[in-house]
Structure 1
Amino acid sequence: MTAEVPGRLPDPVAEQDRITPFQVDTLDVRGRIVTLGPAVDAVIAGHGYPEPVSRVLGEAVALGVLLGTALKFDGRFILQTQTDGPVRMLVVDFETPDKIRACARFDAELVAAATDTRPAAMIGRGHLAMTIDQGPDMSRYQGVVELAGQGLEAAAHQYFAQSEQIPTFVRLAVAEEMTATADGTKRSWRAGGLMVQFMPADPERMARADLDPGDAPAGIEPGTVAEDDAWVEARTLAATVEDHELVDPALSSERLLWRLFNERGVRVFAPRPVTNFCRCSVETIRDMLNRFSLDDRQHMVEDGKITVTCEFCSSRYIVEPSEVGIPDASATD
């Protein structure tokens, strides 16, 4: 006797908060598509960010999930920007297998005065660091990419070309969804992303043109390498995806992948959930405070208490001075 293997039909509508792996064997590409609803909305709505900040943070969260879910071990993937734009810093913290949290720091006056509110303009110039943390007993791996006004999509392409040397295509999208309810219009954020990578059995097929030759002598032309036809086709098909398709709640990941690659045949694997979380707690706050000097802790006391707000989830913690080694709060400034 043979066991019947049930088939899985494409979901008619988009599921909330999930990452869906896929593979196109005939083109030697693999990839993932992420759909985020309540998870990214919780990150954004919990802080009340201005719209331009919300959009760029939504892109960062989608990229963080796309990259973080590639980890094959227990650990964390941390994406962080430090730049001179109105959005000074973005932090996305992905913990395997499915937990995400994120926050942004920005200059409110610069954001309000900005005439160009595209995510790339909000970020500005600086660098993007991507860190893989396998735990306290393992060394961290970090890749750094220069941000020169090109945005997160282009930065991801640059990272894979320089550090991983894997031909990669990334598309990110963010949208604010408005739904009519009995209590009025409900506004919520959605984000989506698509990543496609060329991974043939023969690594020679992944050869790409050299990076900028830098200080090469005048008259020296950089070498050229013809891209593999399969990768050119796969990238061209992936590039037809529209932003609205990545955030459309009426379009499932399976159906979108069918639109893109049905002529070549696409295998879609079981999706995995993505959840918004924060690891902050009273214990972690106390531990953090105890890393400061006693003098610093004493100067944190206001009205007889130490108040700490988590940057990721906006939770407020009130700590008694005696809980962090301050015996007499009345003696502090």
Structure 2
Amino acid sequence: MVDPVTDGPVPGDDSVLPFAVEGLDARGRVVTLGAAVDSILHRHDYPPAVSRLLGEAVALTALLGTSLKFSGRFILQTQSDGPVHMLVVDFETPDRIRACARFDRDRVVAASAAGADSPEALLGTGTLAMTVDQGGYTARYQGIVPLDGRSLEEAAHLYFAQSEQIPTRVRLAVTEVLTRDPGRGPRRSWRAGGLLVQFLPESADRVKQRDLAPGDAPEGTVVPPVDEDDAWNEVLSLVGTVEDVELTDPAVPAETLLYRLFHERGVRVFERQPLVERCRCSRERVDDMLKSFTPEERRDMIEGGRIGVTCEFCSSHYDFDPADYDIAD
């Protein structure tokens, strides 16, 4: 389904809006993506099902990457046996994001025709890795969770339960809209949105979570339940009312959505964090990469007397003379 026609850029697009609901000890972020995600998805001309899935991954990465308090990168990557066997989204502080997907087109088309193109069906069995890279001599931090039958939302919930141990709820949505393009008439464009909210009370006792069942526990072991905090239950109930269209509708700014959800408790918003779709590749970076290969590996790259490299993220093509690397065809 395509939403009504919109008139180009929307105020608040391509940004993340942090917020706090002090009355419920909750904090979070809302992301609204317009031109940035549309540029990523249209550049590659992905099948619609792949575009929706990658759009969700971009929204999730924006929500998580903009929380970094230092210069660095946040990388989300899936590897799985589904029709979409890899997603990569790379966020570089403070605002640059890029993304790409690898998939089996025939399997995607067949899955869509059979109505089996839900995120969990497209991903299949595999892993979701989230990597924080501060660069320099700082070690990377990576959290990995299984994708087995899970959507990106569900995998994110498991990641926070295991790695961060912070009660967290994530909502993601992607859609197409019709946008008026002066001189060319209406065109379809992609939009994505997301909401992340976490329970962060001052008292650590109020953030107790249910323990994950230990894999080596004797058969029949019962993990004692932990009652959810009333404030967090209220947050979950409110977030559970959010519909996909509220996250992607150009007529529903993030502030409006937050007011709808939390006005009875009071919600405070902070400065927006802008996002831009921009690749990190350059001729110099590709040259450095080529120099890291052996002469034999570079020789195998020669086609038609040249070495050509195309960036998977932005599709930029770089052409090199093998003679610059002391090899010849």
TM-score, length-scaled by structure 2: 0.93
Q: Give the aligned partner of residue 82 of structure 2.
A: 85
C-alpha separation in 1, matches of 2:240 and 2:309 = 45
The residue number in structure 2 matching 1:9 is none
Q: Which residue is 1:186 aligned to?
A: 187
Alignment-derived partner of residue 150 in structure 1: 150
Distance in 2, Cα, partners of 1:91 & 1:57? 8
CA RMSD of aligned residues (A): 1.2
Which residue identity is paired with 2:55? G
Give the aligned partner of residue 163 of structure 1: 163
| Corresponding residue for residue 61 of structure 1 | 58
Task: Tell me which stretches of 4 or more aligned residues in structure 1 moved more than 3 Å.
Answer: none
The one of 99, 103, 106 aligned to 1:102: 99
**Equivalent residue number for residue 6 of structure 2:** none
The unaligned stretches of length 5 or more in structure 1 are 1-12
State how far apart, in whole Å, the 1-side matches of 2:174 and 2:75 are: 20
Residue of structure 2 in register with 1:252 after alignment: 253
The 1-side partners of 2:209 and 2:220 are apart by 21
Identity rate of aligned residues, in percent?
60
- The 1-side partners of 2:324 and 2:310 are apart by 17
Q: How far, CA to CA, are the matches of 2:299 and 2:276 in structure 1?
A: 37
**How many Å apart are 1:170 and its aligned residue?**
0.1
SS of the residue corresponding to residue 46 of structure 1 reads: helix
Of 205-214 and 168-177, more deviation after overlay is shown by 205-214
CA contact (8 A) 1:196 1:235 kept: no
**Cα pair 1:286 1:323 within 8 Å, conserved:** no
In the TM superposition, 1:42-53 aligns within 5 A as 42-53=39-50
1:233 matched to 2:234? The reply is yes
- 1:111 alignment partner, one of 108, 114, 134: 108
Deviations 1:197-218 (A, max 9, x none): 0000001100011112334223
Residue 220 of structure 1 and its aligned partner are, at CA, apart by 2.7
Aligned to 1:71: 68
Q: C-alpha displacement at 1:14, in angstroms?
A: 4.7
2:39 and 2:287 map into 1 onto residues whose CA distance is: 25
- Looking at structure 1, the residues matched to 323 and 23 of structure 2 have their Cα atoms a distance apart, in angstroms, of 65
| Structure 1 residue aligned with 2:287 | 286
> How does 1:261-276 map onto structure 2 within 5 Å?
261-276=262-277
**Which position in structure 2 is the counterpart of 1:124?**
124
Paired amino acid for 1:204:
D
Following the alignment from structure 2 to structure 1, what is the Cα–Cα distance between the partners of residues 185 and 121? 33
2:200/2:207 contact within 8 Å kept = yes
Task: Indicate the larger mover: 292-301 or 99-108.
Answer: 292-301
Check conservation: 1:14, 1:248, Cα contact below 8 A.
Answer: no
Please state whether the residue corresponding to 1:297 is helix, strand or coil.
helix
The answer for the alignment partner of 2:36 in structure 1 is 39
State how far apart, in whole Å, the 2-side matches of 1:208 and 1:194 are.
Answer: 21
2:200 alignment counterpart: 199
In structure 2, how many angstroms separate the alpha carbons of the residues matched to 1:144 and 1:215?
20
Cα deviation for residue 72 of structure 1 reads 0.6
Contact 2:27 2:197 in 1 (8 A): yes
TM superposition shift of 1:180: 4.6
Look up the SS of the partner of 2:241 in the other structure.
Answer: coil
Q: Residue by residue, what CA displacement relative to the aligned partner does 1:114-135 show, whole Å, maximum 9, x if unpaired?
A: 1211122111110000000000
The answer to whether structure 1 residue 301 and structure 2 residue 297 are counterparts is: no
Mean alpha-carbon deviation: is it higher for 316-325 or for 82-91? 316-325
Q: Are the counterparts in 2 of residues 14 and 253 from structure 1 also a CA contact under 8 Å? A: no
- Matched ranges for 1:305-316 at <5 A: 305-316=306-317
Amino acid at match of 1:122: L
Greater Cα offset, 206-215 or 72-81: 206-215
Deviations 1:18-67 (A, max 9, x none): 00000000100000000001111111111111111101000000000111
